[in-house]
Amino acid sequence: EDQVTQSPEALRLQEGESSSLNCSYTVSGLRGLFWYRQDPGKGPEFLFTLYSAGEEKEKERLKATLTKKESFLHITAPKPEDSATYLCAVPRYSSASKIIFGSGTRLSIRP
């Protein structure tokens, strides 16, 4: 069964303390892996799409990487405004329109 698991559930960091969020996936054939950011009371905001193992994408302090079984979202020298829930998602192989979301990692950056 297609599945997406994110860890940790919650992560508290000091401002400037770099770390990584994990997303492991099980899907018959990967048609892309998405990262979203969601702030409280708002809709998910699209960040990245990754398609193949070894691919990397960057945006400001965030870098997403992909292997055959998992993806990492690395955050370098985070700031308090990076606090949010980060969601990972993959389309089902059988129906690319149906995206499966992980339960997210709640990231909190203390000043």
Partner 1 sequence: NAGVMQNPRHLVRRRGQEARLRCSPMKGHSHVYWYRQLPEEGLKFMVYLQKENIIDESGMPKERFSAEFPKEGPSILRIQQVVRGDSAAYFCASSPPSSGDNEQFFGPGTRLTVL
Question: Among residues 5 and 20, whose Cβ is nearest to partner 1?
Answer: 5
Tell the smallest beta-carbon distance from residue 77 to partner 1 (Å). 28
Tell the smallest beta-carbon distance from residue 98 to partner 1 (Å). 5
Provide the binding-site residues for partner 1, judged by CB under 8 A. Answer: 31-32, 34, 36, 41-46, 49, 87, 89, 91, 95-104
How, if at all, do strands 84-91 and 99-101 pair? antiparallel
CA distance 67 to 46: 20
Question: Among residues 88 and 109, whose Cβ is nearest to partner 1?
Answer: 88
Tell the smallest beta-carbon distance from residue 97 to partner 1 (Å). 4
Question: Among residues 18 and 94, whose Cβ is nearest to partner 1?
Answer: 94
Buried b vs exposed e over 25-55: b needs ≥16 C-beta within 10 Å? bebeebeebbbbbbeeeeebeebbebeeeee
Q: How many CA atoms lie within 13 A of 26 on its CB side?
A: 4
Question: Among residues 42 and 68, whose Cβ is nearest to partner 1?
Answer: 42
